[in-house]
Homo-oligomer: A and B are copies of this chain.
Amino acid sequence: MIKRVAIVEDDKGLREQLALVLKTAADVECVAAYGSAEEALKCIEAARPDVVLMDINLPRMSGIECVAKLKEIMPSVQIIILTVYEDSERIFHALRNGASGYLVKSSPPEKLLEAITDVTQGGSPMSTHIARKVVQHFHMVGPALEEEQYPLSPREQEVLELLAAGYIYKEIGDKLSIATETVRTYVKHICQKMHVKNKTEAVAKSNLTR
């Protein structure tokens, strides 16, 4: 299956260079190349790309914003960020906006083509230094969230989740096929274990958003 790829990159030289790289692969077709986010947003639907290679540093609208808007009009398109920036802020923002891959511009051509294949097969190609930034994020938030972890039993965890969804004890009992009184017991235990005053604080402290 041939992958249809579009390029969004303001530098003409780099844009053409990327197109050349794409041409060297038999299973990749470069269906479009845009010099700005605005141009891409206007025309990209007609090009029907599977994958978009997106520069971050575009004039006016940044590539990160463009990712969000692209994902709105074409939710299934896979976006790979191509950039010289390696700061966490940009990385996280881009990923949150829906990018699936993140390569530094210095990546060799074969890595780029490999990334295009990966991303169409449900992977998330990332330059290894980018990945480290992401992993560091987990090192940061992980312990912070987890040190404060309470040894809730699986059943208690379930109850807590249903509390967070706004159900009352009777409904929770029905969903779990247990008595309302039992739910009440679990909530008591949860509040004791978490050292909180009531179920609302327990839910807040547990960070459950659904």
A-side residues, CB < 8 A to B, are: 92, 95-100, 118, 121-129, 131-132, 134-135, 138-139, 141-144, 146, 163-168, 196-201, 203-205, 207-210
Contacts and interface: CB of A to CB of B under 8 A. Distances in A.
B164 A200 contact: yes
A126 B122 contact: no
Nearest to A197: B166
Number of copies: 2
Q: Which of A127, A146, A204 has the most CB of B within 10 A?
A: A204
Contacts of A97: 142
A121 B159 CA distance: 45
B165 A96 contact: no
A17 B7 CA distance: 42
Contacts of A166: 196-198, 200-201, 204
